[in-house]
A and B are shown apart, each in its own frame.
Chain A
Amino acid sequence: MSVQYSSDELMDYDEVMERFDVVLGLEVHVELGTRSKMWCGCSTEFGGEPNTHTCPVCLGLPGSLPVVNKKAVESAIRIGLSLGCEIAPWCRFARKQYFYPDMPKNYQISQYDEPIAFDGLVELEVDGTGYEVPIERAHMEEDAGKSLHVGGATGRIQGSDHSLMDYNRAGVPLVEIVTKPIRGTGTKGPQVARAYMAHLRDMVRALGVSQGRMEQGQLRCDANVSLMPKGTTELGTRTETKNVNSLRSVEAALQYEICRQGAVLAGGGRVKQETRMWNEAGGFTTAGRSKEQAEDYRYFPEPDLVPIAPSREWIEQLRAGLPEMPAVKRARLQSEWSFSDLEMRDVNGTEGALDLIESTVAAGCAPAAARKWWLTELARAANERGVLLEDLPIAPAQVAEVQRLVEAGTINDKLARTVLEAVLAGEGSPERIVEERGLAVVSDEGALSAAVDAAIEANPDVAEKIRGGKTQAAGALIGAVMKRMGGRADARRVRELIIAKLS
C-alpha cells in the first residue's frame, strides 16, 4: 500500500455525538459452507488451483441450466428464522445485470423484491444496555470470482494493465442480510455495529451454516452511516464503507466515517453519497465510486429458475431444529459456570473463547480453570502468534489434561505454563511432555525436606522472623526452595514444611 495517511478533516467523536444523531445500516454477506455451489455441483472449497472448480453452469455458458442447492435454501431459511424474520411462502430469484468481469455471466442471480426472509429483529447488549437492530431482509444470491490485477503496483487495480480471473468462487452460495436504518444507538453506534457482527458470526456458527470467518471473507460487512443534526428528522446523506474485514474494523471504520462526516457538515459542506474503502493499515477510509446516480441493474425474474415455495411444514420443521441462540447460550453458561458479569465480559470479548471453554469444561476441567488458561496463557500465545484462540495447535481436552495434572499435584501452575508452551510447540500430549521433560514436581519428601533445611540455613534472618510468628515472610524461603528444586516443587507443600520446621 502506498498511501498510509489521509488528509480528511475529522471532528472529535464526542463533539459529533453532541451535535448529531447517527443512523447506521449494515449489509452483511454470509458465505454458506455448503459442499457444492449454489447452482451446480462444483466444489466450494477454498484455495483450489485457478478455475479447477468451474463448469459450464457457473461460467454461464450457453445452454447450461442452474439448479438450486436445497441445503443453501434450507440455510437461508434457518438464518431468517434465527433473525426473527417471516419466511416468504413463495419467492423468486432475480437477475441483477452488471458488467464486471468477476461475474462470468454478466449478471448475478440474486433476489430482488421477493427475499426469502424479511422483517426480523436482533436484540443486543452493549455495556449492559439493550439495543435493537431491525432486519429488513435476508436473501439468497451467489458469490463472484476473484481478480488478479496485473501491471500495476503490487496487485492494485489502479494503474493495472489487465486482470486475470479465477472463477472458483463464482457461484458459491451467499445469504445477504440487510438491516433497516438503525437509530437510537446514542454514542454507541460503532459498538452496536460491532456487537451485531459478533452476533451474526456466533449465530451462523451455531447454525452450522458457515464458519463465519471474517478474515477469510466468509462474513463481509458493508457499513452505511449518515448523520443528522440533533432535533431534525430528515435522514442525512449516507456513505457505504467496504473492505471491513474484522470486528475491530467495523467499529473503527464507522467511528472514522462519523468523525469525517461531522467535520464535513460542520464546515458547511455536504456529504457525498459514495462508496468508501476502509484502509486497514492506515485506519481511514478513502473515496471510491460515487453513487450519486442510482444504479440501474435492470432486475427481472430469473427465467432459468422456478420459484421457491417452502411449505409451512418444512419451515416449522427447520424452526424446531434451530440450535440454542448465542445470547441464550451465553446466559445459560454464565449461570452454570457461576461467572460474574465482569468475568463473562472477558469471555465474550475474546473471539472463540466461549466455545473453547465449554469444550474444556466438557473434557472435565473446572470452569474457572478453563477460563484462566484460555484467557491468560493461551490468549497471550495466540496474540504473539497473531492467530485466533481456536487456531492454536492445542485441543480443549489437552488443556483439561494440564489442569488435571495440576490438581493431582503432579505439576504446579508455573510448570503448567511450560507444559502448555510445549504442547503448542508440538511436543505431544501434556502427560508425555511432563514425563519426557521430567517436569513433575518432586514428591520425594526427603529431597524436599533437605532443600527446605538448606534454604533455612542460607537465610537465617528470614527463618528468625518466621519463628517469631511472621509467617508471611515464608514467601522468601519458598522462593529459595523452588530455586533449589528447579521449580519442580508444590509451593503449598513447601510452605507447610517451612512452617512445620520453624514453629
Chain B
Amino acid sequence: MALTPQDVSRLAELARIELTPAELAEIAPQLDVILEAVASVGQVADQDIPPSSHAVPLTNVMRDDERRDSWPAEAMLRGAPAQGQQRFRVPRIIDDSDAG
C-alpha cells in the first residue's frame, strides 16, 4: 500500500487543504495505517465479490416530481461568511467555469 508524502501532498492540494511539511510528515503515515486497515477486507473478500459502495442493499429510492417550498433566502444566506445583493459573496475567481 505505502502512501507516500507526495501522494498526500497531491491529495491535499486537490482538496484545497494547506499542510505544512511537519503536518504532512505526521499525517501521511497515519493515513497509511488507515488504508492498510481497510485493505484487510481484501483478505476475506474474494475476486468474485464486487466492491460495494453502499451499506444497505437498496435501489430505486426516488421521489415524485413535486415542488416543496424553498427556504427563505435570508435563512440560506445566514451561514455565509460574506454576502451581497442577496447572493453568496466569494473571493475572486481566476479560472474559467467548467460546470457540467
User: Interface residues, chain A, CB within 8 Å of chain B?
Assistant: 29, 34-36, 40-43, 49-56, 59, 61, 67-73, 90, 92, 97-104, 108, 141, 143-144, 147-151, 157, 160-167, 174, 176, 220, 242, 275, 277, 288-289, 295-296, 298, 300-301, 303, 305-310
Q: Are the C-beta atoms of A306 and B56 separated by less than 8 Å?
A: yes
List the B residue with the shortest CB-CB distance to A289.
B96
Taking a contact as CB atoms closer than 8 A, the residue among A50, A149, A160, A164 that contacts B73 in the complex is A50
List the B residue with the shortest CB-CB distance to A103.
B99
Interface residues of B in 35-63 (CB under 8 A from A): 53-54, 56, 58-63
- Chain B contacts of A147 at CB under 8 A? 93, 97
List the A residue with the shortest CB-CB distance to B82.
A162
List the B residue with the shortest CB-CB distance to A93.
B53
Q: Residue among A51, A90, A92 with the most chain B CB within 10 A?
A: A51
Q: Which of B1-9, B18-26, B84-92 lies at the interface? A: B84-92
Q: Are the C-beta atoms of B58 and A51 separated by less than 8 Å?
A: no
Q: Are the C-beta atoms of A303 and B53 separated by less than 8 Å?
A: yes
Say yes or no: A309-B68 contact (C-beta < 8 A), given A100-B95, A157-B96, A164-B89.
no
Question: Which 5 pairs show the lowest CB-CB distances between chains A and B?
Answer: A41-B68, A301-B53, A71-B65, A164-B87, A144-B99
- Give the distance in Å from the alpha carbon of A306 to the alpha carbon of B58 in the complex: 6
- Give the distance in Å from the alpha carbon of A71 to the alpha carbon of B76 in the complex: 27
Taking a contact as CB atoms closer than 8 A, the residue among A55, A56, A67, A296 that contacts B14 in the complex is A296
Taking a contact as CB atoms closer than 8 A, the residue among A67, A164, A295 that contacts B84 in the complex is A164
Q: By DSSP majority rule, is chain A's interface helix, strand, loop, or mixed?
A: loop
- Give the distance in Å from the alpha carbon of A101 to the alpha carbon of B97 in the complex: 9
- Give the distance in Å from the alpha carbon of A42 to the alpha carbon of B67 in the complex: 6
Q: Are the C-beta atoms of A41 and B66 separated by less than 8 Å?
A: yes
- Give the distance in Å from the alpha carbon of A323 to the alpha carbon of B42 in the complex: 49
- Give the distance in Å from the alpha carbon of A99 to the alpha carbon of B97 in the complex: 10
CB of A137 to closest CB in B, whole Å: 14
Taking a contact as CB atoms closer than 8 A, the residue among B66, B86, B91, B99 that contacts A162 in the complex is B91
Q: Are the C-beta atoms of A143 and B71 separated by less than 8 Å?
A: no
Q: Residue among B14, B64, B88, B96 with the most chain A CB within 10 A?
A: B88
Q: Residue among B56, B63, B79, B84 with the most chain A CB within 10 A?
A: B63
Q: Are the C-beta atoms of B65 and A72 separated by less than 8 Å?
A: yes
Q: Are the C-beta atoms of A70 and B62 separated by less than 8 Å?
A: yes
- Chain B contacts of A298 at CB under 8 A? 14
- Give the distance in Å from the alpha carbon of A101 to the alpha carbon of B16 in the complex: 13
Q: Are the C-beta atoms of B87 and A51 separated by less than 8 Å?
A: yes
- Chain A contacts of B60 at CB under 8 A? 306-310
Q: Are the C-beta atoms of A55 and B71 separated by less than 8 Å?
A: yes
- Chain B contacts of A69 at CB under 8 A? 62-63, 65
- Give the distance in Å from the alpha carbon of A43 to the alpha carbon of B65 in the complex: 10
- Give the distance in Å from the alpha carbon of A118 to the alpha carbon of B1 in the complex: 35
- Give the distance in Å from the alpha carbon of A136 to the alpha carbon of B78 in the complex: 43
- Chain B contacts of A220 at CB under 8 A? 100
CB of A92 to closest CB in B, whole Å: 6
Q: Are the C-beta atoms of B56 and A164 separated by less than 8 Å?
A: no
Q: Are the C-beta atoms of B59 and A309 separated by less than 8 Å?
A: yes
Q: Are the C-beta atoms of B61 and A54 separated by less than 8 Å?
A: no
